[in-house]
Amino acid sequence: MALIVQKFGGTSVGSIDRIEAVARRVINAHQQGHQVVVVVSAMSGETNRLLGLAKQIDEVPMARELDVLLSAGEQVSMALLAMAINKQGFAATSMTADQVGITTRGGFNNAEIDKISTESIQSLLDNGHIVIVAGFQGRDNQGNITTLGRGGSDASAVALASALKADECQIFTDVDGVYTTDPRIEPQARRLDVVDFETMTTLARLGAKVLQLQSVEYAYQHQVPLRVLSSFEDDRTTQGTLVQMKSDNQTSIAGIAVLANQHLFSLASQAEKMIWQSGGIASQLWNNVMDETNSSHVVVSDADLAQLKLAHSDELHHIDNVATLSVVGNAATECEQAMLATLAGEGIVVHKVQHLPQCLCLLVAESDHKRAVKLLHAQFVVAGLSEHEPELLAVS
């Protein structure tokens, strides 16, 4: 018998039909003899609906009251799921983070989990209950409700798995695992069986979206095995992707992460460019490279674009819409010249190159990035895969 923490996101509990499907999946795990703790997000679209209501009252809502409001979404999901399980004749108890004893630090809207009390959950598990916990929330030392920010339910699940010493934390999403690249770009992308934590952490930081970065880092730090599964497929037909400490087998080039919707500008002065060093992923990655050449270029994401234009509209020159391709693997840097030659042979311009541990990042034109992914995936990823080496890293 194992203790398993399962997390279901908003699309997984997006309707009553979906909630009842999740209930059947949870019951199936329970019937196999496992102790099961379930962490749920708000129903798909519910958090945005609540945020919209708040902004009808105040465009900049009070942070404390916003957390009180947004935390209600997960409480709806947990109660409905507990009802669905109980209706099938199995004991299920829903619990808010406050009832569990999840203590946070760091203030409102983007708090971090500090500690978790496990006594109440463990008592219910020992008495045969399935426990449903509201994700995305906690309470601070003053007893205030806090929320954990974007992807917070993943963090809740991993932290609970660590505190309970669970055998596995299963993250159910709308995809069935981690792929060699985004299958929406390259249909030949393959789901792989095992991802090592160190590389997955790097790729999550660079924009891979299957797993939330904070949850991957926490799981890595506390050595919690993660498994990515699809809530829309029969769990008897796929084992998803396991994220664990190390893989015995490694490929030279294992996968390609894609971060699109970026913009490359030149600025009037190097001093002005320095303002954007502390921006998002794009700024942090590429402006550090551009510092080395003393260039007054800047890369920003769509999210940062309006702010940049507002501050420096008279000093900007737009060079290109760009995307970052992060090629991951032990030999990524060694293959740099071959990759650049492959892209150049197809007329694809690489604006900048960044070297990271076991990773090569290429800044290419947005209009070329899908074609570039297909070329690099075919020549440097697929060619290195083997049916005899299933434990490979991939990103989606």
Q: Where are the domains of the chain?
A: 3-173, 255-384
* Non-local CB neighbours of 278 within 8 Å, separated by 6+ positions: 284
Cα separation, 226 vs 276, whole angstroms: 35
- What pLDDT, on the 0 to 100 scale, is given for residue 298? 83
- What pLDDT, on the 0 to 100 scale, is given for residue 395? 40
Laid out side by side, the sheet with 350-356 consists of: 297-301, 255-266, 317-328, 359-365, 350-356
**DSSP for 313-330?**
TTT-EEEEEEEEEEEEST
Cα separation, 242 vs 299, whole angstroms: 34
- What pLDDT, on the 0 to 100 scale, is given for residue 292? 59
- What pLDDT, on the 0 to 100 scale, is given for residue 201? 80
Cα separation, 336 vs 192, whole angstroms: 24
**DSSP for 255-308?**
EEEEEEEEEEEE-S-HHHHGGGGGSSHHHHHHHHHHHHTT--EEEEEHHHHHHH
- Check if 3-173 and 255-384 are the same fold: no
Q: At the top level of CATH, which class does the domain 255-384 belong to?
A: alpha beta
Architecture of the CATH domain 3-173? 3-Layer(aba) Sandwich (3.40)
Cα separation, 319 vs 266, whole angstroms: 7
Name the percent of the chain in helix, strand, coil, to the closest 5: 40, 25, 35
- List the helix and strand counts (H, then E) for the chain: 14, 19
CA proximity to 255, closest of 175, 359, 351: 359
CA atoms within 13 A on the CB side of 309: 9
CA-based radius of gyration for the chain: 22
Cα separation, 352 vs 365, whole angstroms: 11
> Which DSSP letter does residue 379 get?
I
pLDDT per residue as tens, the chain (396 positions): 899 999 999 999 999 999 999 999 999 999 999 999 999 999 999 999 999 999 999 999 999 999 999 999 999 999 999 999 999 999 999 999 999 999 999 999 999 999 999 999 999 999 999 999 999 999 999 999 999 988 899 999 999 999 999 999 999 988 888 888 888 999 999 887 888 887 788 777 777 778 888 888 889 999 999 999 988 876 655 789 899 887 654 557 778 999 899 999 887 665 455 554 545 666 667 766 766 555 678 888 887 777 777 766 667 888 999 999 999 888 888 899 999 999 999 999 999 999 988 889 999 999 999 999 999 999 998 766 544 344 333 343
**Would the pTM count as exceeding 0.75?**
yes
Query: How many residues are there in the chain?
Result: 396
